[in-house]
Amino acid sequence: MIEYNRYSWWKTAFSFRGTALPRAGWRVLTCVLYALLVQATFELGSDLQLYDEQRFLGIDPVGHAVVGSLLGFLIVFRMNSSNNRYWEGRSHWGQLINSSRNLVRFGCEYGERGSTLSRLVAGYVISLRRSLHGQRDTEEVDVYLPAELCEQVSRFGNIPTGVTSAISHWIGEQYRKGKLDSMQVRHMEDQLSKMVDAQGGCEKIQKTPLPFIYVAMIKQLILAYLITLPLVLCERCGWWSPVLMFVVSLALLGMEEASVEIEDPFGSDGNCLDLEALTLTIARDAGQLALFKPVFICDDQHD
Amino acid sequence: MIEYNRYSWWKTAFSFRGTALPRAGWRVLTCVLYALLVQATFELGSDLQLYDEQRFLGIDPVGHAVVGSLLGFLIVFRMNSSNNRYWEGRSHWGQLINSSRNLVRFGCEYGERGSTLSRLVAGYVISLRRSLHGQRDTEEVDVYLPAELCEQVSRFGNIPTGVTSAISHWIGEQYRKGKLDSMQVRHMEDQLSKMVDAQGGCEKIQKTPLPFIYVAMIKQLILAYLITLPLVLCERCGWWSPVLMFVVSLALLGMEEASVEIEDPFGSDGNCLDLEALTLTIARDAGQLALFKPVFICDDQHD
Amino acid sequence: MIEYNRYSWWKTAFSFRGTALPRAGWRVLTCVLYALLVQATFELGSDLQLYDEQRFLGIDPVGHAVVGSLLGFLIVFRMNSSNNRYWEGRSHWGQLINSSRNLVRFGCEYGERGSTLSRLVAGYVISLRRSLHGQRDTEEVDVYLPAELCEQVSRFGNIPTGVTSAISHWIGEQYRKGKLDSMQVRHMEDQLSKMVDAQGGCEKIQKTPLPFIYVAMIKQLILAYLITLPLVLCERCGWWSPVLMFVVSLALLGMEEASVEIEDPFGSDGNCLDLEALTLTIARDAGQLALFKPVFICDDQHD
Amino acid sequence: MIEYNRYSWWKTAFSFRGTALPRAGWRVLTCVLYALLVQATFELGSDLQLYDEQRFLGIDPVGHAVVGSLLGFLIVFRMNSSNNRYWEGRSHWGQLINSSRNLVRFGCEYGERGSTLSRLVAGYVISLRRSLHGQRDTEEVDVYLPAELCEQVSRFGNIPTGVTSAISHWIGEQYRKGKLDSMQVRHMEDQLSKMVDAQGGCEKIQKTPLPFIYVAMIKQLILAYLITLPLVLCERCGWWSPVLMFVVSLALLGMEEASVEIEDPFGSDGNCLDLEALTLTIARDAGQLALFKPVFICDDQHD
Amino acid sequence: MIEYNRYSWWKTAFSFRGTALPRAGWRVLTCVLYALLVQATFELGSDLQLYDEQRFLGIDPVGHAVVGSLLGFLIVFRMNSSNNRYWEGRSHWGQLINSSRNLVRFGCEYGERGSTLSRLVAGYVISLRRSLHGQRDTEEVDVYLPAELCEQVSRFGNIPTGVTSAISHWIGEQYRKGKLDSMQVRHMEDQLSKMVDAQGGCEKIQKTPLPFIYVAMIKQLILAYLITLPLVLCERCGWWSPVLMFVVSLALLGMEEASVEIEDPFGSDGNCLDLEALTLTIARDAGQLALFKPVFICDDQHD
C-alpha cells in the first residue's frame, strides 16, 4: 500500500512511481507513434492529391464517440469491480483483526494458558498471509508455533486450515479440562468460524479473477477504438491529432492498467494491501490481550 | 474458468478462444455485410442522381447517438448484473468451502467417526455440483456414500437435500450417544444451515435468469440501432462506414454475448466456474481435517 | 416467469409476447404519428416559404442531447432499482426454501410428528403466496391445515402470521412434552424467524413502490423530451425524422414499461416470479424430509 | 407515501401534486425568464449590429455538453443515494415489523401475560415514530403504556430507549418467575436487539444528511450550467432557446428537488413513508398474536 | 458535520464555507488564467497571421469530449466510493450506539453495578474517538475510568482494545460471582463483539484510503484534460473560452476536492462526522439506562 498525503494535489498529479505509467507507458507511446504515422500518411496523400479531400471524409466522429462513451462505461465498470474486490479483501482482513481480538480476549478471560492461544492466532494469520503470497511452507510461522505442530500442518493441502484445527484443539482441551463450558466453546468456535470465513473470502478473491471473456473484450474494444481513432481525427485535427491520441490512450490504457493492478489486492505490487502490517497488528494485539490482567479499584467507591 | 496471465496485454487482446467472438462473430459479419449493402445502394443512387444529395440528409447523428449512449448504459447494466450473479455464485461456493471446513473441524474435535462425517460432506457437495449441472443420479457420489444411502437419497426430488438429512442424522446419532451436547448440536446445525443457504443461493441463480422483458428489449434495441446506423453514416463516412459498423457491432454484440455467457456461472461454457476444482478442494480439506490429531509439545515450556 | 433459451438470439429479438411492446406499443405509435405531423407541418411551411429557413434553426441538437443522455441515466437507474427489487423478492423466497428445509429437517430429527410440521410449513408458504396475491382466505391452505386452524388463522389481519403462531405452538408442544430441549427450541425459532423476515421482506417490496415523485418526474421528462424531439430533427433529418422518433421512443417508453412490469415481482404479469412453482418445491421437500429415515450401513466397516 | 396505479401512464405523467413541480416550479420559471432576457439582448445586439456575428461565437456547445453530462451523472448519483436512504429506512421499519412479530409470538408461547408484552411493543414503535417526527412526549404512547411508565420513560434523552428497557424488564421478570429459562431470555433479547438496531438505523438516516459539500457543489454546478446555457444557445436556437431552457431546467431542478424530498423518508412530505400505517400494522399483529390460542385437532388422525 | 436546511436552495447554492471552493479555488483560478493566456496567444497569432487559420484546426471537440465524459464517470465513481466510505463510517458508529444500548440494558437488568458497566462503555467510545483522531493518551477517558485502569490501557498498542478487555473482565466478574450465567455472558460478549467489529470497521476506513493508483490517475487525467481544453476552444469560443474553462474546471476540481474531503469521515474537516455528538449520545444513554428501574403498575388490572 502506498502512503500518500491526500491534500498535496500537485505532488500526486506529477508522481510516476505507483501510478499506471510505468506499465502502460509503452503502450501509450506506441499509440502516439501510430497516430503520427497515420497523420503523416494522410498529409502526404493530400499533398500529392492522391485522393479528393472532399471524398475522403474518414469515420464519422459522432458514431465513433458512441463507442468511446461505451468504452468509458466499461472502464468505470472494470475499475469499480476491481475496487470492490480490493475493499472486500481489506474487509476480510479487518474481520480477521476483529475476530482475533474477540477470540483472544474471551479465551484469556475464561480459559487458561491464553499465551498459547495468542501464539496460535498469530501463527494462523501469518500462515494465511504466506499462503496468499503463494508460499507453501511454515517459515515465519515457526516463530509462533511449536516445531511438531509446524511439521504437522505443513502436510495439509491448505496450511492455515491445519492451524485452525490446532486452535479448535486448544479450545477442546480447555473444554475437556473443565475450564470452558459448552456455551463458551461455542462462542469461541463462532469467532473462529468468522476467521475461517474471512480466509475463504481472501482465497475466493485471489483465485477467481474477473471472467476472461470480460477482460478480453475490454482489451479488444480498446484496441479497435484506438486503431480507428486517427482515421477519425486526421482530417479534423491535423497535427494536433497525436496530442489527442496521447490524452485518449493515456485515459483508456492507464485506467485499464490501474484496474488490473488493484484487482488482486494480495499481490506484490506497490498498490496492494500491506499484509505484513496487518499481521503485525494482529500478533501485537493478541500478545497484549493475553498478558492483560485488569485491576479494578474497588467499584463501590464509584457507585 | 479460463486461467490467464493478467499482465500479458497483447496475448489477451488477440485471443479468440474464450472470448465472445466464436458466438457473436456471425452476427458481427452480418452487420458488416448489411452496412456494405446499404453503402453500395447509397453510392449507386447518388451516382445515378436518383435523389438530390442536399435533400437526402439521413438520420441526425446526434439524435441517433442518444440511443447509442442509452444502449451503452443498458449493456453495462447487463454486464454488471451478470457479473454480480457470477460473483454471488462464487461466493456461495466459498461459503460451502468455509462451512464444510468449520463443520468437519468441529465434528472431529468433539464427535467420533469424523471420517464418516467428512465423507458425507464430500458426498453432499458432489451431489450439489451434479444437481446444478442437471444430472439427477448418484454417480460419483457413491464413491463417498454407502450404497443404501445413495439409493435412499436418489428418491428425493432434490438429491442434495437428502444428503443434508443424512448429515443431520449423523449429528443426531452423536447426540443420542452422548458424544455431543445440545449446544454442540446447534453449532453444527448452524454450519449445516449455512451450507443449505448456499445451496439455495446457487439454485436461485441457476433457475432465475434475468427477466425476459429486459433481455428481449436490449436485443430489440441493439437490432433497431444497428439497422438504422448505416443510414446515419452513409453520407458522412462514405466507404469507411462498414469499418465503423464493425467496431460498433463488435462492441454491442460482443458485450451482450459475454453477459449471456457469464449470467449462468454453473453452466458448461469455458468461462463458467470450475466446480470440479471447488468440490475437490472441499473433499481434500474435509478428509485431511478428519485425520488430523494435533500433538502439542507441553505448553508449560512456552509460558 | 417466462422461460427462454438464452442462446437463441434471433428468436428472442423478434418475440412480441412477454416484451414491453404489447403495452408500450400504442404510445410508440402515437409518438411516430406526432413526428409525422410535425414533419408535414414543417415541410409545408418551408414549401410555402412561410418562414426564412435560415432563421428557423430549431432546437440545438447538442443541448437537447444533454437531456437525452440524462434520461438515459434515469431509465437505467429505474431499471436497476426494479431489477434489485425483483432479485430481492426472489432472494426472500430463496430464504423461505432454505429455512423451511432447515426447519423441517431439524424438527424431524429431534421432534416427533414431523409430518404435522411439514404440513404446517407447506400451509404457511401457500398462505403467504395467496396473501401476496391479495387473496384474504384460506383456500388451498385447507389442504394442509386442519379446518379448525384454518378458521382461527382466517381471523388474523395477516393470515401467514397466524400460521407462524401455529408453528411456534407445535415447537412449544414438543418442548412441553420433553422431546426438544430449550436449545433446540431456539434453533427452530431462529429458522422460523428467518422465514418471518423473508415474509416481511416480500410484503415490503409489494407495499412500497418506487416513490411517486421519481416515477412521475421520469414520465414527465420522457414526455417533454419526446414532444421537443421532432423540433430538433425536422430540419436535419427530413422525412427520416419519424424513423428516428420510432427508435428513440421505443427505447425510452419500452424500457420504462419493462421497469414498471418488473417492479412488483409478485404480480400476475408474465414476467413475474412463478410463486406456484416455488411453493410446490417447498411443499415437496418438506414432505420428503418428513418421511426420510436414513439407514446407515454399519460405519465401522468404513473407518 | 402516495398511492398510485403503476399502469396509468398518462394520469401519472400529468399529475402535479406529489411531484417536484410545486417546489421547483418557481426556479424553472426564473430560468425561462432569464433565457428570454438573454435571447432578447442577443437579438437586439445583432439587429443593431453592435457586434460582428461571425466573431460572437458564444460558448462551444460540445465543451458545454461535457458539463451537462457530468451534471447528469451527479444528479443520478444524488437520486440513487436518496433512494437508497429511502429503501434503507423502509427496510428498518420492515425489520421492526418482523422482529415485533417474532418477539410477541415467542413471548406469548413461553411466557405469561403476553398482552402486556404486546402493549409494550406497540408503545415502543409509537414512541419511535413520534421521536422520528421530532415529538418529545408520550402522547399516543400512553394508550398502550401505564401512566407511571410513561412518566419514567419521558425522562429519557431518547424515549424509545426507555421503552426497550421496560421490555427487557418484562423479560427479566418472566425469567425471575421461572417462566422463561436463560436460553429463551437470550432469544427474546436477540429479537429486541434487532429492533434497537433498526431504531438506530432510522436515527442514523434522519440525523445524517448527504454531506453538505456534495449538496452545495451540485447546486452550484446546476447554477453555473444554467447561467451559461443561454450563451451557448442564443446563436444556434434563436427564439427556441427558452423552450430548450425549460426542458433542461425542469430536468435538472426537478430531479434535484425530488432527491431532496426523498432523502429524509421520515419527514412529513407527501412522498415520505407512511409511518402511521406501519405502526398500526405492528400494533394490530402484536395484539392478535397475544390473543391467539391455537387448537389443534388431534394430530394422530393425520399421521 | 455541517447542519443545513435542506429546503433553502439559494442559501446553499451561494454558500462558500463548507464547500470545496476554499481549497479548490486557487486551482480553478490558475486554470482560468491559463485559458486567458492561451486565448491571447491564439488571437495574437491570428492577428499577425502567423498561421493560416484554415490549417490551425485545433483538437477535435468530439474526440476530446470522449475524454471529458470518461472523466465525468471517473469523478462520479470517486464521489460514490467516498460517499460509501462516509456512510459505512457512520453506520459503524450507529452500530456502536445500538450495541452499547443493548449491552448496558442487558447488563443492568441481569448483573449488578450497572453504573460501572455504563462508565466502561462510555470510556470505550471516547477512547475510540480519540484513537481515530490520532491521540494516543487517556485524556477525557479518565473521567469515566479509574486511574489504575487508565494507566493499564495506555500501555496497549491500541487503547480501545484495552478497554474492551476491561469490559470483558467486568462480565467475567459477574459470571464468577454467579450473577450472570454462561448464556448471559455469551449474549453480552456478542454485543461486545459487534462493538469491536464496528471499531475495526472504523480503523479500516481510516487506514486504507482509495488506492494511490486510482487517485493519481484521476488527477493526471484532469490535468491532461484541462491543459488541452483551451486548444479545443480557442478557435470556436473566442473570448468566451475562459468562461467555459471556469465552469469545467469548477466542476472537475470541485467535485474531486469534495470527494477527497469526504473520503476520511473521521478527520477534522467541517464535513466530517461529528464524533463528539455521537460519543455524548452513547454516554448519556448508557448512564440513563444504568439508572432506570422500571416500576410496573400491577399488570393484572390490564389483562
User: Does A74 reach chain B within 8 Å, measured CB to CB?
Assistant: yes
Which pLDDT does position C131 carry in this prediction? 93
Asked whether the beta carbons of residue D63 and residue E251 sit closer than 8 angstroms, the reply is no
> Span C79-106, mean pLDDT?
94
CA nearest to B266, candidates B81, B80, B24, B93: B93
Asked whether the beta carbons of residue E215 and residue A68 sit closer than 8 angstroms, the reply is no
Which pLDDT does position E52 carry in this prediction? 67
Asked whether the beta carbons of residue E251 and residue D190 sit closer than 8 angstroms, the reply is no
Report the chain E residue with the minimal C-alpha distance to residue D196: E98
Which pLDDT does position A302 carry in this prediction? 44
pLDDT in tens, D64-80: 888 998 999 999 999 99
Q: Is residue E241 scored above 50 in pLDDT?
A: yes
> Span E89-105, mean pLDDT?
94
User: Does A151 reach chain B within 8 Å, measured CB to CB?
Assistant: no
Residues E242 and E280: beta-carbon distance below 8 Å = no
**Distance of alpha carbon C69 from alpha carbon B62, whole angstroms:** 11
pLDDT in tens, D226-238: 999 988 888 888 8
Q: Is D58 left (phi over 0), alpha (psi -120 to 50) or beta?
A: left
Residues D271 and D18: beta-carbon distance below 8 Å = yes
**How far from the centroid of its chain's Cα atoms is residue E145's Cα?**
28
Which pLDDT does position D302 carry in this prediction? 44
Shortest Cα distance from D137 to chain E (angstroms)?
Answer: 17
Report the chain E residue with the minimal C-alpha distance to residue D70: E72
Residues 6+ apart with CB under 8 A from C188: C103, C106, C107, C171, C180
Which pLDDT does position D148 carry in this prediction? 86
**How far from the centroid of its chain's Cα atoms is residue D94's Cα?**
14
Which pLDDT does position B293 carry in this prediction? 76
**Distance of alpha carbon A8 from alpha carbon B88, whole angstroms:** 39
> Span C257-280, mean pLDDT?
89
User: Residue E64 is placed in which grid cell?
Assistant: 476530446
pLDDT in tens, A185-195: 999 999 999 99
**Distance of alpha carbon B18 from alpha carbon B6, whole angstroms:** 15
Which pLDDT does position A29 carry in this prediction? 93
Lowest mean pLDDT among B206-210, C69-73, C237-241: C237-241
At E198, the pLDDT band (50, 70, 90 cuts) reads very high
> Span C1-26, mean pLDDT?
85
Q: Is residue C303 scored above 60 in pLDDT?
A: no
Q: List chains adjacent to chain D, taking adjacency as at least 3 C-beta pairs closer than 8 Å.
A: C, E
DSSP state of D18: T
**Rounded to 5°, angle at Cα C156 from C151 and C162:** 80
**Distance of alpha carbon D209 from alpha carbon D92, whole angstroms:** 17
Residues B68 and A66: beta-carbon distance below 8 Å = yes
User: Does D254 reach chain C within 8 Å, measured CB to CB?
Assistant: yes
User: Does B233 reach chain A within 8 Å, measured CB to CB?
Assistant: yes
Query: How confident is the prediction for chain A on average, in pLDDT?
Result: 88
Kind plus residue range of the DSSP H or E element containing D254: helix D241-263
The closest CB to that of D200, out of E6, E98, E284, belongs to E98
**Share above pLDDT 90 across residues of chain C, in percent, rounded to a whole number:** 49
Report the chain E residue with the minimal C-alpha distance to residue D267: E6
CA distances in angstroms from B144 to A14, B100, B129, B130, B163, listed in the order given: 61, 15, 14, 14, 11
Q: What type of residue is A136?
A: R
> Span C231-245, mean pLDDT?
86
**Chain position carrying cell 511449536:** A146
Which pLDDT does position D23 carry in this prediction? 86
CA nearest to E244, candidates E28, E52, E18, E11: E28
Q: List chains adjacent to chain E, taking adjacency as at least 3 C-beta pairs closer than 8 Å.
A: A, D
User: Does A8 reach chain B within 8 Å, measured CB to CB?
Assistant: no
User: Does E32 reach chain D within 8 Å, measured CB to CB?
Assistant: no
Tens-binned pLDDT, residue by residue, of chain B (303 aa): 788 888 888 888 888 888 888 888 899 999 999 999 998 988 888 888 777 666 667 788 888 888 998 999 999 999 999 999 999 999 999 999 999 999 999 998 888 878 889 999 999 999 999 999 988 888 888 889 888 888 888 888 899 999 999 999 999 989 988 888 888 999 999 999 999 999 999 999 999 989 999 999 999 999 999 999 988 888 888 888 899 999 999 999 999 999 998 998 998 888 889 999 999 999 999 998 888 877 664 444 444
Shortest Cα distance from A13 to chain B (angstroms)?
Answer: 25
> Span A176-202, mean pLDDT?
92
ipTM over the 0.90 cut-off = yes
Report the chain E residue with the minimal C-alpha distance to residue D85: E87
pLDDT in tens, C247-256: 999 999 999 9
Contact residues, chain B, for A55 at CB < 8 Å = 238
Q: Is residue E103 scored above 50 in pLDDT?
A: yes
DSSP state of D240: G
> Span A13-18, mean pLDDT?
84
At D82, the pLDDT band (50, 70, 90 cuts) reads very high
Domains of chain D, residue spans = 89-208+273-292
E117 against D3, higher pLDDT: E117
Rg of chain E on CA atoms, in Å: 28
At D296, the pLDDT band (50, 70, 90 cuts) reads low
Lowest mean pLDDT among A42-46, B168-172, C211-215, D55-59: D55-59
Give the 3-state secondary structure of residue B202.
Answer: helix
User: Does D115 reach chain E within 8 Å, measured CB to CB?
Assistant: yes
Which pLDDT does position B296 carry in this prediction? 63
DSSP-derived secondary structure for A39-98? HHHHHHHHHTT-S-HHHH--S-HHHHHHHHHHHHHHHHHHHHHHHHHHHHHHHHHHHHHH
**Distance of alpha carbon C121 from alpha carbon C141, whole angstroms:** 10
Asked whether the beta carbons of residue E288 and residue D161 sit closer than 8 angstroms, the reply is yes
Shortest Cα distance from C156 to chain D (angstroms)?
Answer: 7
Contact residues, chain C, for B264 at CB < 8 Å = 6
Residues E196 and E164: beta-carbon distance below 8 Å = yes
Asked whether the beta carbons of residue E105 and residue D185 sit closer than 8 angstroms, the reply is no
The closest CB to that of D69, out of C69, C183, C211, belongs to C69
The closest CB to that of C58, out of D20, D240, D254, belongs to D240
**Distance of alpha carbon E128 from alpha carbon E203, whole angstroms:** 9
Lowest mean pLDDT among A294-303, B75-84, D64-73, D163-172: A294-303
Which pLDDT does position E199 carry in this prediction? 95
Q: Is residue D290 scored above 80 in pLDDT?
A: yes
Phi, psi of D113 (to 5 degrees): 55, 45
> Span A44-67, mean pLDDT?
78
**Share above pLDDT 70 across residues of chain E, in percent, rounded to a whole number:** 95
Shortest Cα distance from B8 to chain C (angstroms)?
Answer: 31
Question: A125, A253, A292, A300: best mutation site toward chain E, by most E Cβ within 10 Å?
Answer: A292
At A18, the pLDDT band (50, 70, 90 cuts) reads confident
Question: A98, A187, A264, A301: best mutation site toward chain E, by most E Cβ within 10 Å?
Answer: A98
> Span E218-229, mean pLDDT?
92
N-term to C-term CA, chain C: 48
Q: List chains adjacent to chain B, taking adjacency as at least 3 C-beta pairs closer than 8 Å.
A: A, C
Report the chain A residue with the minimal C-alpha distance to residue E263: A6
Report the chain A residue with the minimal C-alpha distance to residue B90: A204
Question: A105, A112, A275: best mutation site toward chain E, by most E Cβ within 10 Å?
Answer: A105
Which pLDDT does position C226 carry in this prediction? 93
User: Does D202 reach chain C within 8 Å, measured CB to CB?
Assistant: no
Quick one: C53 exposed, middle or buried, by C-beta within 10 A (0-12, 13-18, 19+)? exposed
At E303, the pLDDT band (50, 70, 90 cuts) reads very low
Q: Is residue A148 scored above 50 in pLDDT?
A: yes
**How far from the centroid of its chain's Cα atoms is residue D206's Cα?**
9
Give the 3-state secondary structure of residue A228.
Answer: helix
pLDDT in tens, A115-141: 889 999 999 999 999 999 988 888 888
At C3, the pLDDT band (50, 70, 90 cuts) reads confident
> Span E63-81, mean pLDDT?
90
Alpha helices, H only, chain E: 9-13, 21-47, 53-56, 61-110, 114-132, 147-153, 159-176, 182-207, 212-237, 241-263, 275-291
User: Residue B15 is placed in which grid cell?
Assistant: 485471443
Contact residues, chain D, for E73 at CB < 8 Å = 73
At D301, the pLDDT band (50, 70, 90 cuts) reads very low
User: Residue B241 is placed in which grid cell?
Assistant: 462506414
User: Residue A286 is placed in which grid cell?
Assistant: 493478541
Which pLDDT does position E64 carry in this prediction? 87
Query: How confident is the prediction for chain E on average, in pLDDT?
Result: 88
CA nearest to C26, candidates C289, C208, C254: C254
User: Does D294 reach chain C within 8 Å, measured CB to CB?
Assistant: yes
Kind plus residue range of the DSSP H or E element containing E60: none
pLDDT in tens, E34-44: 999 998 988 88
Q: Is residue D298 scored above 60 in pLDDT?
A: no
**Share above pLDDT 90 across residues of chain D, in percent, rounded to a whole number:** 48
Residues 6+ apart with CB under 8 A from B99: B191, B192, B194, B195, B198
Which pLDDT does position E296 carry in this prediction? 63
User: Does E201 reach chain A within 8 Å, measured CB to CB?
Assistant: yes
Report the chain D residue with the minimal C-alpha distance to residue C147: D297
User: Does A40 reach chain B within 8 Å, measured CB to CB?
Assistant: no
User: Residue B124 is placed in which grid cell?
Assistant: 453432499
Which pLDDT does position E1 carry in this prediction? 77
Report the chain A residue with the minimal C-alpha distance to residue B187: A186
User: Residue D48 is placed in which grid cell?
Assistant: 443593431
Quick one: B207 exposed, middle or buried, by C-beta within 10 A (0-12, 13-18, 19+)? middle
CA nearest to D135, candidates D107, D110, D160: D160
**Distance of alpha carbon E65 from alpha carbon C69, whole angstroms:** 14
